[in-house]
Structure 1
Amino acid sequence: MSLINTEIKPFKAQAYHNGKFIEVTDASLKGKWSVVVFYPADFTFVCPTELEDLADHYAEFQKLGVEVYGVSTDTHFSHKAWHDTSEAIKKVQYPLVGDPTGTITRNFDVMIEEEGLALRGTFVINPEGQIKLCEIHDNGIGRDASELLRKVKAAQYVASHPGEVCPAKWHEGEKTLKPSLDLVGKI
């Protein structure tokens, strides 16, 4: 079953965020747009490139009222150690959530059970706590924060403009579509 339009499941976890340990729960993701990015593990290879790319675009996400959360099955202590030793991870200003029990990873259906690691899962969650975008990659395929930013803008546009949809490669300010009987067969 697809997770699209389902409400996020309850969870409580510790995160490393701006030099402190904080608690993050399902309630933390509600009331604003959120992006949850699962990655396999700290101290690996593709993961720091993705998290650094998100860090480089973080201000743009914040301007849209979006909080970003990085999640792996490591502990929040491991996240701090990685932050302290990696130039790429030192750029990260969004919470890095520890999920050593795998609860959150399983809630979002990205757990690789035999490895105890997460697949590269990306989820956009609306302020009501519903999943509006779900994208899962093989762990060898890195993601692109600028493409994720485009998708977040599209999700926000559709949410605030009922009856309109965003076509392929849509960018903010471009023409949208209004599905109707008159449009059938004319695209």
Structure 2
Amino acid sequence: MISLLRPASTLLIALSLITGLAYPLLTTGIARLVFPSQAAGSLIERDGKVVGSSLIGQGFSDPRHFWSRPSATSPMPYNGASSSGSNLGPLNPALADAIKGRVDALHAADPGNTATVPADLVYSSASGLDPHISVAAALYQADRIARVRNLPVARVRQLIDEHAEGTLLGFLGEPRVNVLALNLALDATH
């Protein structure tokens, strides 16, 4: 029995060191060399202070800002430690109520806007942490922001155009805008 325990325990210790220590340190080191910003969390700083990440969405409810895509993470929205969707099916009344509440909030913030509400402003993403909205969702909010901030609509639309990102690899998905980056640019506009 002891002759079996020694090689087994040696193998356990060796594999634990390789897979639990050496491999994670190696992959983290390579990531820091090849993708330094992403490995550090893609943090966005303003005046020397971290205000968020370009990879993780944040909630904005102030009418002066662009609103993000809704988050379904729990126990609180935009919880980076709990990436998940709501898992509510299309016939679930809770999903219908949540969507209705989001549409009502958008209409209350901009009662004169009669355009169709873009889907990404009322449906959460699969991860619940999507930092982007479609260009259409940003344009939907442009009039409200211009009115509340007393800015020309053309200036707000220009900011959207300046921060629009193209499709992935030139053909996957649709053009999008990082909400945090757009709101920071909006706040810097005088």
TM range (shorter): under 0.3
Which structure has the highest strand share of the two? Answer: 1
State the TM-score, normalizing by the size of structure 1: 0.25
TM-score by length of 2: 0.25
Larger relative contact order (CA 8 Å, sep ≥ 6): 1
